[in-house]
Structure 1
Amino acid sequence: MSVSSPGELTTQAYIKHHLENLQVGSGFWTLNIDSLFFSVLLGVLFLWIFRSVAKRATSGVPGKLQCFIEILVGFVDNNVREIFQGKNRLIAPLALTIFVWVFLMNLMDLIPVDFLPYSAQLLGIPYLRVVPSADVSVTMSMSIGVFLLIIIYTIKYKGGLGFVKEYTLHPFNHWIFIPVNLVLETVTLVAKPISLGLRLFGNMYAGELIFILIAGLLPWWSQWLLSVPWAIFHILIITLQAFIFMVLTIVYLSMASATEEH
């Protein structure tokens, strides 16, 4: 959704401008300052809201916010109990953090596309992208974190020798197939974080791009005809992508901690 027309910019320049990040550095060490800022800000907002509700929680008649958070916590806890077969006190808080944090980052896509970037320009900031999950650097960073947890949980629950066996004696349990097993299992392992990060990025980038196209191609007074229906539908995508990221993380960690075959 847009609060202003592209103005003097051509449509191509308008779209390109909205897809540019505010960056520092160069090459591999380039940092997208806007994505980092909004992701950290939303993470702090999540912690502040949940901590405030926890401090004010009452056993009597709860308020609407407390009811909502209790329903959300129960929803996540039920999913963890159904998916994660082991016992680990970190999984449920991790799943809740992932779901809420990713949802809040996705939710930024519903802010009119010109609102914050135009305000930033008034302050001398040339570029500003406000949807962290539409930045592949953010989504792949989160998926790399999940990847490291998979490695850690595999070693924790199966031991160093079990970790080696996991990727050398599976699926073919014979020493002669060790090179084949290693290639197959390594590809499977690496594909997990790549697909996890790219799935979230692709969906949110596409949603952001559609909002930008609507704002860039239509006059401001008619944009609501397309932007409002798309925003309503996009709410489903926003929630679903946060849920998928959470569920796949739990599934991967459950697989890493399974010791039945060892």
Structure 2
Amino acid sequence: MAASGDEQSVSAYIQHHLTNASVGEGFWTFHIDTLAWSVVLGLVFLVSFRSAAKKATTGVPGKWQACVELVVEFVDNTVKGTYQGKSPVIAPLALTIFVWVLLMNLMDLIPVDLIPYIAQNIGIMMGVDPHDVYIKSVPTTDTSMTFALSLGVFALMIFYSIKIKGVGGFLKELYAHPFNTPWLYWFNFILEVVALIAKPLSLALRLFGNLYAGELIFILIAGTIGLWQLPIHFLWAAFHLLVIPLQAFIFMMLTIVYLSMASEKH
């Protein structure tokens, strides 16, 4: 059994790794590490895919072009088989969501002490106490990021519902379904509003929960084993490789399904 001092040090270590670098107070608190890493990874996606598109050839493709073509074809086939409406935006949106979320999830495979160590040394050079330097490099372990993504999807759901069905049709779905009886309109409205709100809520919490749990195990491994963490880290990372793309695919798939439901005419 670990001594009390060891338990406190491990607890402090875990707490430090789970704390975001923040500015502001209350509702207007901004997690600058989440914002920075999400923007950087978004730019990596845009630049790398644009580079592959510009260098694309009709002959034998290079390895990167072949990889990009496989991802694009996979997402395109998924959209064609799932989305029942007609919109030129859905396939690019699905591709962006899948690759962006995948890149953010992949940050989970980097040893948990590496990026904080670099950040702390930069802080020392700038005269900052290393204990005051916080950085979380996995944006999808932050509810601010996952909820922001899900709220974007929610806004698109409302937009497509109103665009295709009109305001009246959208409202009628809320109060006249599933029981098209006037005296049950109030009951329908409660059910449909709860179901509508549950969609972005489940999107955000599912992605956050899976990535946060995986990151927490990495931190526990590092905090309790120290320098000997790498062998066990790589063993857990090998298993986690199943979770990372799966969660990106689920988020993309549910986005397509929700937008397809929003685009249906009843």
TM-score (norm 2): 0.93
Structure 2 unaligned segments of length 5 or more: list them.
1-5
The one of the two structures with greater contact order (alpha-carbon pairs below 8 A, sep at least 6) is 1
Structure 1 unaligned segments of length 5 or more: list them.
1-6
The CA distance in 2 between the partners of 1:194 and 1:144, in whole Å, is 9
Question: Counterpart in 2 of 1:235?
Answer: 241
- 1:140 partner amino acid: F
Shift of 1:220: 1.1
The CA distance in 2 between the partners of 1:52 and 1:219, in whole Å, is 40
Shift of 1:219: 3.4
The CA distance in 1 between the partners of 2:231 and 2:118, in whole Å, is 24
Q: 1:164 aligns with which of 168, 171, 191?
A: 171
- 1:105 partner amino acid: M
- Give the match's secondary structure for 1:123: helix
The CA distance in 2 between the partners of 1:40 and 1:168, in whole Å, is 40
- 1:76 partner amino acid: V
Shift of 1:225: 3.5
Shift of 1:118: 0.9
- Cα contact 2:221–2:232 (8 A) shared by 1: yes
Q: Which runs of 4+ in 1 moved over 6 A?
A: none
- 2:145 partner amino acid: V
Question: Counterpart in 2 of 1:129?
Answer: 136
- 1:38 partner amino acid: W
The CA distance in 2 between the partners of 1:12 and 1:168, in whole Å, is 50
Greater helix share, structure number: 2
The CA distance in 2 between the partners of 1:225 and 1:62, in whole Å, is 36
RMSD: 1.2
The CA distance in 2 between the partners of 1:166 and 1:93, in whole Å, is 28
- 2:12 partner amino acid: A
TM-score (norm 1): 0.94
Shift of 1:15: 0.5
Question: Counterpart in 2 of 1:249?
Answer: 255
Question: Counterpart in 1 of 2:22?
Answer: 23
1:13-47 per-residue CA deviation (whole Å, 9 max, x = no partner) reads: 10000001000001011000000000010001100
Question: Counterpart in 1 of 2:181?
Answer: 174
Shift of 1:176: 1.4
Question: Counterpart in 2 of 1:64?
Answer: 63
